[in-house]
Amino acid sequence: MTHGAMVESLVGGRWRAGSGRRLPVVDPALGEPFAEVALCSADEVGEAIGAATRAAAAWRRVPPGERIQHLFRFKGLLEQELEALAQGITRECGKTLAEARAEVRRGIENVEVACGMPALLQGWVSEDIAAGIDELMIRQPLGVVAAVTPFNFPAMIPLWFLPYAVATGNAFVLKPSERVPLTATALGRLAEAAGFPAGVVQVVHGDKQAVDALLDHPDVRALSFVGSTPVARYVYARAAAQGKRAQCQGGAKNPVVVLPDADLEMTTQIITDSAFGCAGQRCLAAATAITVGEASGRFSEALCARAAARRIGSGLDAEVEMGPVISAESRTRIAGLVDQGLAAGARPLVDGRRAAVPAHPRGFFLAPTVLGGVAPDNPLAGTEIFGPVLCLTEVPDLDAAIRLVNDRAYGNMASLFTSSGAAARKFRYEVTAGNVGINLGVAAPMAYFPFSGFKESFFGDLHAQGRDAVDFYTDKKVVIERWPKEWSRRF
């Protein structure tokens, strides 16, 4: 897309500019706008919902085996356009090209799983629950469903929802982050090229006004959200007040626990990749490294060495290992949180707040930062930074580490690094986190498992991906039948 191009919304099978405010789309590596997005008003979101409602009535009658033919074509187009999508993600989001390619690949996995929908939609039948009476459960689509997605994974997170929603027979409305509208627009155009009928897949660009319109409209039966915990709580409460289903993924402060028997080289590589990959802007980023006993000294030194050596710059540069954060405001916020942590007693082991990339002096760059001695009462101990900052905490034993993990408000991910099977089993059994990693820094579930989350990291009952998605997007209807013999003899 050329400089100054207008990013449009897909409403009722037509691409058009919204009538609301215009916002710049900024390349975070350059610090310069290269496109403009036109936001939709509440009335225009209502138009999209109306088109989705009309489309859903016909789409639900299309057999699942036919619906997934569109998904097969959609997958093929995603594969064909993977590199172009990755380039676009890097330009508007800032992550490295390798990270962007991996993101698209993880999104495609969800399309692949949703292509198995004819089997996933199967219900249950019990004959003769009483004499001559049978009972069965069938799944039926809700109608119109929507998703509000964040800036940090502009392709993957929409694809947590879109494939399952349409494969189960619903019409789907996507409201992406207004910071990264181009990738969502590209997904909408690929869905259009895959042959989905007008209104089955729609993309509306907007801000809070658009989100509230989706939440309040009576024809929207379910809404998915990924973002910060305060907004997740707001969306969940407002959706519930309207009688809607909601799955709202919130924030995180993911701990990784390192035991003395962990492999030094492997562990430090994995943790630094987790903490500083995507510039720390992912809900599964390692945010706190809890070193146990004798692990503290040698692992802390190794982590600092790797953090200090990480190359930063434009994500389009093949030599770069970490790109910028999303905006100047984010950079200022992250640096300010580090200041607070230092004022509360943390030590700056590696300080990346004054990072500079000479080739891109206006970019929103921070270098990896490692803070030592972050006590449990330090404000940073429980605050989601959402940037390339790793906090280090020392505890005497595994029990103390598990208590520290479980005392946190968040429960998105927790990981343990060890060579002990007994320690690993104890950890996975006792920690209160939805995604648990053993010798893994990013415990991201495969598409056929739910993307879980506990406590203030998730509001709802059914998660994204896999069978949870099928349950979320369908109503279970139970039918009980009796056909007396004398009635059947009449025909």
Catalytically active residues are 283
What's the CA angle centered on 220, arms 480 and 24, to 5 degrees?
Answer: 155
Residue 375, number of CB atoms within 10 A of its CB: 13
Q: Quick one: which H or E segment has residue 89?
A: helix 82-93
Q: E strands of 230-308, at which residues?
A: 245-249, 254-258, 286-292
Interhelix angle 264-276/295-309, rounded to 10 degrees, is 50
Rounded Cα distance between 415 and 402, Å, is 11
Using alpha carbons, select from 185, 387, 191, 393 the residue that is nearest to residue 283.
387
Q: Residue 280 is encoded by which pair of tokens?
A: 């720390």
- 171 contacts 162 by C-beta, under 8 angstroms: no
Rounded Cα distance between 450 and 113, Å, is 12
- 37 contacts 151 by C-beta, under 8 angstroms: no
Q: Identify the DSSP state of 132.
A: T
- 330 contacts 180 by C-beta, under 8 angstroms: no
- 260 contacts 268 by C-beta, under 8 angstroms: no
With tokens 């006004």, the residue in question is 209
Using alpha carbons, select from 111, 160, 125 the residue that is nearest to residue 469.
160
Rounded Cα distance between 173 and 188, Å, is 10
Q: Which residues of 384-403 are buried (b: 16+ CB within 10 A; e: fewer)?
A: bbbbbbbbbbbbeebeebbe
Strands 133-141, 474-482: pairing is antiparallel
Strands 254-258, 413-417: pairing is parallel
With tokens 């939709």, the residue in question is 40
Using alpha carbons, select from 360, 365, 416 the residue that is nearest to residue 387.
365
Q: Identify the DSSP state of 465.
A: S
